[in-house]
């Protein structure tokens, strides 16, 4: 018997035409950073919208708000804290180390990390002033601890993505052509795994990966060993043909620092 997924709905009555017009204005602003409708009725919605209105044309701020609003509405879903006072340290740690790397953009400048952390610290300082919370120092500490590893993750993701799609930054890039090439490549391997791995060691040109859902070890080639460090997390696909010892790294979906591990495993097990 097919199970029908639960869908939560709610009804909101506007007290006056002015409130309805305010809602439409907020909706127009929030749509620019793709906040889901539920955010318009939650405590964080107004603060995200106000932060956007401070710099309405700033793309860096808009990208930060896209990441933050998706964290509150999509990533955390119904487990979002009920107030800023309830956004305890693990909330900020998961945002910085696990959620943000999932939203890295491939850019020639590779400034996503600095831009995001800078905007996050500005936003939290603003929240502390308005709501009377004290998260500024906590978030500053996490940001400082995350900077180096997140930069490594950003650089790796850019390198691996451009290996998959070498013409990405060129005018007229044909995504379908590159996608078809990668899909054709995947079919050439007898075995493959698509999941979360952790770097255990690096030996010459080989990266030793542990498959975190069952602890299996894979000697993997095709990764830029000069910029990889042990403990990093790789979400993607490896492949191997019969008679071969080494596996080959084929497809990258995300690169994460080791601090993301408990959060990533929790998500992985909840999806299985």
Q: pLDDT of the chain along its 272 residues, tens only?
A: 455 545 455 566 666 777 778 888 999 999 999 999 889 989 999 999 999 999 999 999 999 999 999 999 999 988 899 999 999 999 999 999 999 999 999 999 999 999 999 999 999 999 999 999 999 999 999 999 999 999 999 999 999 999 888 888 888 888 888 888 888 888 889 899 999 999 999 999 999 999 999 999 999 999 999 999 999 999 999 999 988 899 999 999 999 999 999 999 987 777 55
H-assigned helices in 99-204 = 100-102, 112-131, 136-164, 175-186
- Is 218 in a helix, a strand, or coil? strand
- Residue 246 sits at φ, ψ, to 5 deg, of -80, 150
For 54-83, the pLDDT digits (tens) are 999 999 999 999 999 999 999 998 889 999
Q: Specify the pLDDT at position 226.
A: 93
Q: Specify the pLDDT at position 267.
A: 78
d(CA 269, CA 265): 6
- Sorted by sequence, the CB contacts under 8 Å of residue 49 that are 6+ apart come out as 26, 29, 30
- DSSP characters over 91-114: HHHHIIIIIHHHT----SS--HHH
**Number of continuous H segments (helices) and E segments (strands) in the chain:** 9, 5
Entry pTM: 0.90
Q: Is 1 exposed, middle or buried (0-12, 13-18, 19+ CB in 10 A)?
A: exposed
Q: Which helix (H) or strand (E) holds 197?
A: strand 191-203
Q: Specify the pLDDT at position 1.
A: 44
d(CA 65, CA 72): 10
Tell me the sheet residues that pair with 221.
Answer: 248
Q: Specify the pLDDT at position 59.
A: 97
For 103-128, the pLDDT digits (tens) are 999 999 999 999 999 999 999 999 99
DSSP structure class, residue 82: S
Q: Specify the pLDDT at position 13.
A: 67
Rounded to the nearest 10°, the torsion over CA 223, 228, 231, 236 is -30
């Amino acid at each position: 018997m097919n199970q029908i997924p639960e869908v939560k709905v709610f009804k909101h009555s506007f007290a006056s035409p002015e409130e309805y017009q305010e809602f439409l204005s907020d909706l127009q602003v929030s749509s620019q950073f793709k906040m889901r409708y539920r955010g318009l009725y939650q405590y964080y919605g107004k603060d995200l919208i106000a932060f956007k209105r401070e710099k309405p044309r700033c793309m860096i701020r808009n990208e930060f708000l896209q990441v933050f609003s998706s964290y509150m509405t999509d990533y955390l879903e119904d487990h979002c804290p009920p107030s800023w006072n309830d956004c305890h340290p693990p909330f900020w740690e998961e945002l910085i180390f696990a959620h943000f790397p999932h939203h890295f953009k491939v850019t020639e400048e590779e400034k996503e990390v600095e831009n995001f952390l800078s905007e996050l610290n500005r936003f939290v300082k603003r929240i502390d002033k308005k709501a009377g919370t004290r998260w500024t120092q906590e978030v500053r500490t996490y940001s400082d601890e995350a900077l180096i590893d997140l930069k490594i993750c950003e650089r790796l993701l850019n390198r691996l993505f451009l290996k998959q799609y070498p013409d990405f930054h060129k005018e007229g890039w044909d995504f379908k052509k590159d996608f078809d090439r990668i899909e054709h490549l995947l079919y050439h391997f007898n075995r493959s795994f698509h999941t979360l791995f952790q770097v255990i060691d690096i030996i010459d040109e080989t990266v030793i990966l542990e498959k975190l859902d069952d602890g299996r070890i894979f000697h993997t080639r095709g990764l830029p060993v000069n910029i990889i460090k042990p403990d990093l997390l790789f979400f993607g696909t490896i492949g191997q043909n019969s008679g071969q010892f080494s596996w080959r790294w084929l497809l990258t979906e995300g690169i994460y620092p080791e601090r993301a591990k408990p959060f990533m495993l929790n998500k992985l097990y909840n999806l299985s």
